[in-house]
Amino acid sequence: MSTKQTLVVIGNGMVGHNFLESFVASDIRDNYEIVTFCEEQRAAYDRVHLTEFFSGKTAEDLSMVSDGFFETNNIKLHLNDKAVEIDTMNKLVVSEKGVAISYDKLVLATGSYAFVPPVTGHDRKNCFVYRTIEDLEAMMEAAKTSKVGAVIGGGLLGLEAAKALQNLNLKTHVVQFSPRLMAAQLDDGGAKMLADKIEALGVSVLTSKNTTSIVDGDECLHKMNFADGSTLETDMILYSAGIRPRDEIARKSEIKVGARGGIVIDDQCKTSAKDVYAIGECAAWNGQTFGLVAPGYSMARTVVADLAGKEASFTGADMSTKLKLNGVDVASIGDPHATAEGSLVYTYQNGADEIYKRIVVSADKKKLLGAVLVGDASGYGTLLQYCLNDIDLPENPDSLILPSRSDESVGLGPDALPASAQICSCFDVTKGQICDAVESGCHTMGELKDCTKAATGCGGCSALLKSVLDCELEKSGFEVNTDMCEHFAFTRQDLYNLVMINKIKTFDDLLSQHGQGRGCDICRQAVGSILASYWNDYILSDDHLSQQDTNDTFLANMQKDGTYSVVPRMTGGEVTPEGLIAIGQIAKKYNLYTKVTGGQRVDLFGARMDQLPLIWQELIDAGFESGHAYGKSLRTVKSCVGSTWCRFGVDDSVGLAVELEHRYKGLRAPHKIKFAVSGCTRECAEAQSKDIGIIATEGGWNLYVCGNGGMKPRHGDLFATDLDKETLIKYIDRVLVFYARTADRLQRTSVWMENMEGGLDYLKSVVIDDKLGLCNDLEEQMQHVVDTYQCEWKTTIADESKVKRFRHFINSDKTDENILFVEERGQIRPANEEERQHMAVTEEA
Amino acid sequence: MSNWIDICPLDDLQADSGVCALVEDKQVAIFYLPKEQAVYAVSNYDPFGKVHVLSRGLLGDIKGEPMIASPLYKQHYSLLTGQCFEDEAVSIEVYAVRIENNRVEVSLEG
């Protein structure tokens, strides 16, 4: 008989799911059977980033549920079934489909709904709210037959929605009831600057417009009538006029709700009904509801703690926000409206650069109460810390928003923050926790994110996190030694720059001019890679040979028994029957173990060093070239079969894969590089797990960067959408050369991205906006590599002195008799220790 | 007195890198640093990988001591003493080697 209690969670949105995650990670997890209801047809997904659905992200991408989460944690999920009634007397929940569950504890996480102004015609065709993936799908469908779109509501979400409409190629209007945009967060000056900037981007902004009715239009589907007599014609309408708590189930079940809506909760998130909690946007604490996820997560943590009998309370939340709207930085901190008595306001307005900053400080000028930033939100992190941690302001508070005319930094050093300062609000990580993690050995951004989860939510705190990390490392006396090795007191990036600027062409020159000693396996390999990626000379020339790892030296992959494997290039995974037969014959002749790789080509194992030139002579005669499987270089461009054959294919993925593989083959980089191209969003080529991933869409190619499979999988970041081939190639050129120049040695693109200050946005600013003025240079360098490509095996075989190098013995034609194979499943494999002894005995006998 | 065995012409050595010679029945890795006119000989056998591959490793020094890095699992061995830098208990054999009249000679007697 089960002695477990039953915990029911109504709602599987972001907060409901976050609660489940926190709960199953807690030590009371085993005391409960867990049941959850989700009225949508999909379990929890990331509503904050819903707009990205338009830029190519799929419902799966947005999902917040890790694989097998419900199954592994034994949570009964009632999908597509809405809980409709709670019997608080008998502690019973009943669903729309008639499921009835007795609960011991109940958590309401029903969220909110979009407010639709009750005007005549509000429910006409092609009028939508912006809340679920289904809403977005309906909008996309409607956009196909629309030319003009209007968003009612000029708040955060409304402006995001406007961006989405603009991306759907609609002439877009934002219709705001109040006199200014983002009325809750901005003051008049900030809102005016924001409106100007948004209009400059092609979105028209109408303020003080009270919609009175929606009727048939003359040129468009609808005509919106406003109270001031003006009108607006539009084909589509999006309501984004605020949210209301979903409290109907509480009302029906006689659980107390607030005067302005929302299920009333106390500091432990308990409702008026026994053993019933409410969290997230449906809850009203102190008469206040919270439309952000961070307070919801904070409530979820409070409930988990309370259930576990630990002391915890929810004490309100900071509603500060920072975001980028159509490329415009906007931030609001604390109370931007100066409502506190005696508060003082400082404003900086720069019309030329379209920057607006305003801070609100206490009457004694000691504390920061609020701030508004438009056009430049770089000071957000510092200002937020002043505000949240009650840190004393500098003597002249306006120095915080005035442009600095000297080198003097006005930023708040991470050292000035108390240990209790919250660095990451998404996961409630304090500076103290980060310091502990650094002390226990997390010395990179990647490790720190893994360990503390900081900066893995919205990512807004990553710059601050980095500065705390650097500061702690320095303070703890941990010498942040970024030297390559004892022979070069430089980072890989420094060495790359030295090679570029001084046009250094050999390891010996670099060592004699900038290093010391004889070098070692670390720096030789790294410098060899740098020289190869910049100059692209033949890597086995006398100047370069001594820097190559054994795989590069013998242009094959060394295996555990000292033999090598051979991989001819098969661009895009394409191979003719004749080619396949030739490979088969060669494998048979040299008795090689044959296996198909994950990169869609054939790997031939068990070749002795002395056999490599012979095998390659035959492969080259059959029309093959080096596959560079041995190099820290481009490996393969995997592809699905694409529109040529596939019923669902949108574009020719194989054709593009072949073209890209030919373009980038031989490119040497800090580590290996893998590509994939998928012909449609079904993504059969698994492009999102590659360093460079490309997916065909109706509008062109979507580019993903810095993904990885392997030991630590990383989903590629969507970098740009609907690109034509020419732009796509330019972006890839730039990303790859920038990677080759700036990554650490043996750093894959995924880790490079994780450690990049500014992350994806920074990489975009360099590659798309040309922030560093480097793009031409990057493209030229790539073109040089493309133009100087050579098949290293062809070059090697043509040079007798190079072929000589492949003999096992310099003074004998004998081969290494210690290499022994046995047969398994019809092919060779290296003999193991026991088998070797047996073979030796047999031979002697 | 050392018994010097003729191996090959100096030209057959690979600058700043290694080759493998068969000396009697032993596999000997020979490394050549032309800038210092130095030549080193050690066993070609990698005690960790248990295969004969050390001649294919990368050459260099650790705090001034010439060393070879195993191409398999990257342990480092002193070319002067054969001592493994990562594991005190492990070392490889070191042989005498010299260049005479542009010929390379090895002595297994050490």
DSSP characters over A626-651? B--TTSSBEEEEEE--GGGT-SS--S
- With an 8 Å Cβ cutoff, are B49 and A562 in contact? yes
Q: What total of structural domains would you count in chain A?
A: 5
Q: Residue A763 CB: number of other CB atoms within 10 A?
A: 23
Report pLDDT for A523.
95
- Residue type (1 letter), A223: K
Cβ-nearest to B56 among A523, A547, A553: A553
CA of B88, closest CA in chain A: separation in Å? 20
Q: Name the domain boundary from A458, A480, A502.
A: A480
CB-CB: which of B20, B33, B71 is closest to A809?
B20
Q: Where are the beta strands (DSSP E) in chain B?
A: 5-9, 17-23, 26-33, 38-43, 45-46, 51-52, 58-62, 65-69, 76-78, 94-100, 103-107
**Cα–Cα dist A766/A758, whole Å:** 11
Q: Which of A552, A801, A811, A819 to mutate to test the interface with B (most CBs of B within 10 A)?
A: A811
Asked if B62 lies within 8 A of A487 by C-beta distance, the reply is no
Residue A415 lies in a domain: no
Residue where one domain finishes, among candidates A522, A548, A574:
A548
Compute the distance between CA of residue B20 and CA of residue B26 in angstroms, rounded to an integer. Answer: 10
Of chain A, the end-to-end C-alpha distance in Å amounts to: 68
Q: Per-domain residue ranges for chain B?
A: 5-107
Are A15 and A150 within one domain? Answer: no
**In a domain? residue A558:** no
- A520–B61 C-beta distance less than 8 A: yes
A473, A512: one domain: no
- Distances in Å between the Cα of A30 and the Cα atoms of A3, A18, A33 are 10, 18, 8
Whether A545 and B49 lie within 8 Å, measured CB to CB: no
Do A541 and A513 belong together in one domain?
A: yes
Q: SS3 of A189, please?
A: helix
Distance of CA A793 to the CA centre of its chain: 38
Nearest CA among A542, A549, A541, A622 for reference residue A586? A622
Nearest CA distance, A830 vs chain B (angstrom): 11
- All residues of chain A having their beta carbon less than 8 Å from the beta carbon of residue B63 are 486
Buried b (16+ CB within 10 A) or exposed e, A621-658: eeebbbbbbbbbbbbbbbbbbbbeebeebbbbbbbbbb
Residue A374 lies in a domain: no
C-alpha torsion sign, points A372, A376, A379, A380: positive
Question: Which CATH fold would you assign to the domain B5-107?
Answer: Rieske Iron-sulfur Protein (2.102.10)
Chain A residue with minimal CA distance to B49? A560
What are the chain B neighbours of A524 within 8 Å (beta carbons)?
Answer: 58-60
Q: Which helix (H) or strand (E) holds A127?
A: strand A127-129
pLDDT, residue A202, reads 87
How many Cα atoms within 13 Å fall on the side-chain side of residue A485? 20
pTM tops 0.80:
no
For testing contact with chain B, the best of A809, A820, A835 (most B CBs within 10 A): A809
Q: Which residue has the tokens 């033999």?
A: A563
Give the burial class of A768: count Cβ atoms within 10 A of its Cβ; 0-12 exposed, 13-18 middle, 19 or more buried.
middle
Q: Render pLDDT for A218-260 as a digit per residue (tens, 0 to 9).
A: 999 999 999 999 999 999 999 988 889 999 999 999 999 998 8
Q: Give the separation between CA A573 and CA A579, rounded to whole angstroms.
A: 12
Q: Which residues of A touch B66 (CB under 8 A)?
A: 518
Compute the distance between CA of residue A138 and CA of residue A89 in angstroms, rounded to an integer.
Answer: 41
Mark residue A15 as left, alpha or beta (left: phi above 0; alpha: psi -120 to 50; beta: remaining).
alpha
Q: What is the pLDDT of residue A410?
A: 46
Same domain for A641 and A532: no
Do A693 and A712 share a domain, yes or no? Answer: yes
Looking at the structure, tell me whether residues A207 and A139 fall in a common domain: yes
| Residue in A523, A805, A811 closest to B22 by CB | A811
Residues in chain A whose Cβ is within 8 Å of chain B: 486-487, 508, 517-521, 523-525, 542, 545-550, 553-554, 558, 560-562, 609, 804-805, 808-812, 814, 816, 818-819, 833
Clarify whether residues A674 and A753 are in a common domain: yes
Confidence (pLDDT) at A264: 96
Token code pair at residue B102: 């542009």
Tell me how many residue pairs between chain A and chain B have CB atoms under 8 A apart.
98
Cα–Cα nearest to A735, from A768, A686, A702: A768
Contacts of A486 in chain B (CB under 8 A): 62-63
**Residues of B in Cβ contact (< 8 Å) with A609:** 56
B chain contacts of residue A508, beta-carbon cutoff 8 Å:
35
Q: Which residues of A touch B52 (CB under 8 A)?
A: 562, 816, 818
Contact residues on chain A for B62, CB-CB shorter than 8 A: 486, 520
How many whole angstroms separate alpha carbon A588 and alpha carbon A290? 69
Nearest to B61 among A518, A805, A809 (CB): A518
Domain, as residue range, for A253: 5-113+245-307
A200 touches A374 (CB < 8 A): no
Size (chain B), residues: 110
Domain of residue A16, CATH code: 3.50.50.60
Task: Look at residue A401 and tell me if it is in a domain.
Answer: no
CB burial string B66-75: b at 16+ within 10 A, e below: bbbbbbbeeb
> Is residue A830 included in any domain, yes or no?
no
Q: A769: exposed, middle or buried (C-beta count within 10 Å: 0-12, 13-18, 19+)?
A: exposed
pLDDT along chain A (845 residues), means of 10: 85 95 92 94 86 80 89 93 94 94 96 90 92 88 92 87 86 92 84 88 91 93 94 94 91 92 95 96 92 89 93 85 77 84 87 86 89 85 83 83 58 72 80 88 83 76 79 74 87 93 95 94 95 95 94 96 97 97 97 96 97 97 97 96 94 97 96 96 94 95 94 88 96 97 92 85 93 94 96 96 94 92 95 86 62
Instruction: Decide if A696 contacts A651 (C-beta within 8 A).
Output: yes
**One domain for residues A646 and A772:** yes
Task: Please tell me the distance from the alpha carbon of residue A670 to that of residue A666, in angstroms, as a whole number.
Answer: 13
Give the separation between CA A198 and CA A207, rounded to whole angstroms.
13
What is the 3 state secondary structure string of A299-351? HHHHHHHHHCCCCCCCCCCCCCEEEEECCEEEEEEECCCCCCCCCEEEEEEEC
In angstroms, the separation between the Cα of residue B89 and the nearest Cα of chain A is 22
Residue B37: CB atoms within 10 Å: 8
Residues A231 and A184 in one domain: yes
| Residue of chain A nearest B62, judged by CA positions | A520
Token pair, residue A122, equals 């509000």
B contact set with A (CB within 8 A)? 7-8, 12-17, 19-22, 27, 30, 33, 35, 49-53, 56-64, 66-67, 69, 71-72, 74, 76
Question: Are A93 and A132 members of one domain?
Answer: no
Predicted pLDDT at B97: 96
Same domain (yes/no): A637, A765: yes
Q: Which of B13, B53, B63 sits opposite A486 (nearest CB)?
A: B63
Same domain, A654 and A774: yes
- Taking the CA of residue A831 as centre, how many other CA atoms within 13 Å lie in the half-sphere pointing to its CB? 15
Return contacts of A349-353, CB within 8 angstroms, 24+ apart. Answer: A349/A189, A349/A193, A350/A375, A350/A403
Closest CA to A133 of A243, A19, A54: A54
Contact between A204 and A233 (Cβ < 8 Å): no
Distance from CA of B1 to the nearest CA of A (A): 24
Query: A271 lies in a domain?
Result: yes
- The alpha-carbon gap from A488 to the nearest alpha carbon of chain B, in Å, equals 13
